[in-house]
Structure 1
Amino acid sequence: MTAMFRSAAVRLAQHSLAVAAAAGFALFACAAQATTVERVVSPKGIEAWLVEEQAVPLVAMNFAFRGGAAQDPPEKPGVANLLSGMLDEGAGDLPSEAFQARLDDLSVELSFSAGREAFFGTLRTLVETRDEAFSLLKRAITVPRFDDEPLARMKDAVTTGIRAASTDPDSLASQALAAAMFPGHPYGRPIEGTERTVAAITRDDLELFRRAAFARSNLRIVVVGAIDAKTLGPLLDATFGDLPENPFLRPVPDVKPADAGLVEVAFSTPQAVIRFAGNGLERHDPDFMPAFVANHILGGAGFSSRLYAEVREKRGLAYSVGTGLATFDHAAAFFGGTATRADRGDEALTLIETEIRRLASEGPTEAELDQAKHYLIGSFALRFDTSSRIASQLLAFSLDGLGIDYVEHRNDLVAAVTIEDVRRAARRVFEAGPAVVVRVGPKPS
């Protein structure tokens, strides 16, 4: 359901550290409120959020440069994505095999991925190899090689993925939804690009993107693990300090989901894959949290949503069905989806649209509101049960501009939502219903 909003990494480096992480890197299996986040500012002014935990000698860092696939040249979508696969394919004086071997020798996990509005990186390292791990990261983001052989290999890998997606109804539905929602806009282009555009990307395209997007002022960093602020500050400068101060990003216009109606994509499958979307609320809209609660009641996680009850439990139309809220820097939407037997697609879609409008017109019951708030508050701590998840979650908060203390207050914000708040937000988001519906399956007779 959420494929169109997910980052599309070409590959993730997998090293022995991943085994160590899975076995023993669950440092913070505690309530989210117990996580202490410290702001660290390096001598050169590079800021990071730090969660220090000395119990296990490991360090995890997640970082992002604002300016993801939306910064691809309009005629060449796929540049950011291809770049994410190339940065660990050799840097400085180390060609691809030597760079990868050094990562393996040090038990370092280094990976990159491209989202629509940010370019992401992760680093996982043992404390004893920390300095060299950060040095390898510095080389990757400042002096990548982009040699011919790994470039051709990564292009082949991306192209193979694109071809595979063209035979997958879920991928087709997600791509069609993005294109219908945002026609002619960077958000509507495929993050991975197309076979044609990937083939046309050159090393100069990759370098131009890197130089334009990788800068200190649009960098967000979260570090979790066995490192203190005094050590982290100089390490940030050593790693990121040679980057330019400011990026050179293309302007991205504000946009609302287009009123595209029903989009049919013919595909030979016994199921109809359905995706839908409509206008949403910006992340800093005062009604966003009430809308978040309303969405949970309608089609959120768990087994108590209205759509789950009506579509799956009562009628057995689908195995799963759900909705979500998406916020970008220049757009906001609600979205959702399901898959059902092709001959029952119209029935499922009518039922979903009816429930969306019923929530908008009637609002929830007090019991539904209490149940939703209890779930959302109780499950929040599960986002912080490992160092990697803490780093990822805090980075998302940082990119959303929510503040370093948001983790301490988030549950209070949920608890404060009233039934009047939810009714108002539900009307704002769901009253108009979906603006676009995509159905992938057998061609209607």
Structure 2
Amino acid sequence: MKQIFFAIGLIFASLSAQASTDIQEVESAGGFKAWLVEEPSIPFVALELRFKGGASLDAAGKRGAANLMVALLEEGAGDLDARAFAQAGESIAAQFKYDIGDDSLRISAKFLTETRDDAMELLRLSMMSPRFDQDAIDRVRRQVIAGIQSDTKDPDSIANQSWDHMVFGDHPYGSDYNGTEASVAALTRDDLVAAHQSIMTRDQVYVAAAGDISAEELAALMDELLSDLPATGATPPADLDVQTKAGVTVIPFDTPQSVAIFGHKGMKRHDPDFFAAYVLNVILGGGGFEARLMQEVREKRGLTYGVYSYLVPKNHAELYLGRVASANDRIAEAVSVIQDEWAKMAENGVTQDELTRAKTYLTGAYPLRFDGNGPIARILVGMQMEGLTPDYITTRNEQVDAVTLEDVKRVAAELLKPDALRFVIVGQPEGL
């Protein structure tokens, strides 16, 4: 089965650059909307479904319910137990993937044209009629708890969770969506059914498809697949205004290398200056070995194998974050260099050469994302969730090219906040 999709993907890659710009907006009789890139020459389809809200919709006191519920969607549905469901999918070379994050529940499906009806019936069963058998619940619960226990020994997980709790507190963002050992152990089947009904709803669904399917066929598929979903679900959590103060928080942990998460408030995705901020981040920490942080922290001083920064525009809060790891006796110097570079860019902006190279990198790399129907469908559904229009694909590079040196300097002064740059360090850092 994997070989089938791999071979099809290689063929489709050669068609993707042209097809990716031909987006059809589809609306079904039942009112569901989708974006479609139709490519009939290859007999298979990638379908992407997103439900806005994700694990942030966990009910109070039920942290981890959404994560456990999603993990059980492929563990039996309708008359099929977990083994029978898996065998049914394999018999028609259909692939289903279910995942969850803070802001969305994600379902990906890949299937051959000739078995589309059978594949969609399996997917519909998993979405509408998951069994939530007790033996499956207990088995998957043990797996989730094992993962939670493993995270307590992982410096990266500790750093991320400590940062989130410090910044977000009691908001759902402030705790791991996997839940805690205690919260997951206490979840009942009724809790999972409630999570299913409150997250997978018609008013929060987004759909995209790429491959051998027409607009009419996709419209009919959506009505068949989604019409029985609940109309509305849980109320989303409140928006947050992130506030941090410059400094260092140390979480003691017995390890030869310290891990640091650092950052402060970021920028909303729909801010008019977002593209300038995006280009700025490539220059500061998001552009690989050419980025300033990599040059100063790794290349010139050998303090780390890697350091990077990234914008995080979540649904209810926005962050500008980074990560670095260094030996305990060198992490203090790495922190100092990052602080210095943060302040320098805030004050002086970037050079014309840096701006030109960043634009070349961003505009040149963008078409490479459309390397198959799966990536295309994922990009389309992501664009919908971000409120973008179909012409974004053709205008995106123009918006990158339109960023000026003055734009980056102005945004650097506004976005970069040396007096709010907070570090959370897990390890045994010396000198901090």
TM-score category, normalised to shorter length: over 0.9
Query: Does 1:300 pair with 2:286?
Result: yes
Residue-by-residue CA offset, 1:380-430 (whole Å, 9 max, x unaligned) = 112111221112222221111112221111111101000111111111111
In structure 2, the CA distance between the partners of 1:356 and 1:435, relative to structure 1 (3 Å rule), is: closer
Q: Which residue of 2 aligns with 1:19?
A: 3
Structure 1 counterpart SS, 2:288: coil
For 1:75, which of 61, 80, 83 is the aligned residue?
Answer: 61
Residue 412 (structure 1) aligns with: 398
CA apart distance, 1:255: 3.2
- Report how far residue 257 of structure 1 moved: 4.2
Counterpart pick for 2:28 among 42, 54, 67 = 42
The secondary structure found in structure 2 opposite 1:275 is strand
The answer to whether the 8 A contact 2:287-2:358 is kept is no
Aligned amino acid, residue 20 of structure 1: I
SS across alignment from 2:206:
strand
Query: After the TM superposition, which of the residue ranges 72-81 and 240-249 deviates more from structure 2?
Result: 240-249
Question: Which residue of the partner structure matches residue 197 of structure 2?
Answer: 211
- RMSD of aligned alpha carbons: 1.6
Say if 2:131 is the partner of 1:145: yes
Letter in 2 for 1:22: F
- 2: distance between equivalents of 1:315 and 1:226? 52
SS at match of 1:285: coil
**2:259·2:425 contact (CA, 8 Å) conserved in 1?**
yes
Give 1:341 shift: 0.9
Distance 2:303 2:6 in 1: 37
Alpha-carbon shift at residue 121 of structure 1 (Å): 0.5
Q: 1:251 to 1:442 in 2, by over 3 A?
A: closer
User: Which moves more between the two structures, 30-39 or 147-156?
Assistant: 30-39
Pairing partner for 1:223 from 209, 213, 222: 209
Note the 1:422-433 alignment, pairs <5 A. 422-432=408-418
Q: Is the 8 A contact 1:353 1:434 kept in 2?
A: no
Matching residue's letter, 2:73: L
Secondary structure at the counterpart of residue 284 of structure 1: coil
The code of the aligned residue for 2:362 comes to L
- Where does 1:375-386 land on structure 2 (aligned, <5 Å)? 375-386=361-372
Moved more, 328-337 or 18-27: 18-27
Q: Please point out which of 313, 322, 338 is paired with 2:308.
A: 322
Counting aligned pairs with the same residue, the percent is 39
- Is 2:60 the partner of 1:53? no
Match in the other structure for 2:344: 358
1:268-287 deviation line (CA, Å, top 9, x unaligned): 11111111121111111111
Equivalenced residues, count? 429
Q: Secondary structure at the match of 1:25?
A: helix
Q: What is the TM-score with the length of structure 2 in the denominator?
A: 0.96
For 1:341 and 1:221, the matched residues in 2 are separated by: 45
Give 5+ residue unaligned stretches, structure 1: 1-15
What SS does the corresponding residue of 1:381 show, helix, strand or coil?
helix
CA distance in 2 between counterparts of 1:101 and 1:34 reads 33
Give the superposition deviation at 1:443.
Answer: 6.0
DSSP 3-state at the match of 2:324: strand
CA distance in 2, matches of 1:323, 1:198: 32
Q: 1:105 aligns with which of 91, 94, 99?
A: 91
Q: Secondary structure at the match of 2:329?
A: helix
Query: Displacement, 1:260?
Result: 7.5
Q: For each residue in 1:270-306, what CA deviation from the matched residue of structure 2 results, as whole angstroms up to 9, or x when unmatched?
A: 1111111211111111111100000110001332110
CA distance in 1, matches of 2:173, 2:247: 18
CA distance in 2, matches of 1:34, 1:61: 15
Indicate yes or no: 2:238 matched with 1:252: yes
* C-alpha distance in 2 between matches for 1:368 and 1:33: 32
User: How far apart in 1 are the matches of 2:317 and 2:378?
Assistant: 22
Deviates more, 1:42-51 or 1:66-75: 66-75
Corresponding residue of 1:279: 265
Match of 1:201 among 182, 187, 190: 187
Amino acid at match of 2:224: A
Is 2:345 the partner of 1:368? no
- Report the secondary structure of 1:217's partner residue: helix
Verify the 8 A CA contact 2:268 2:318 in the aligned structure 1. yes
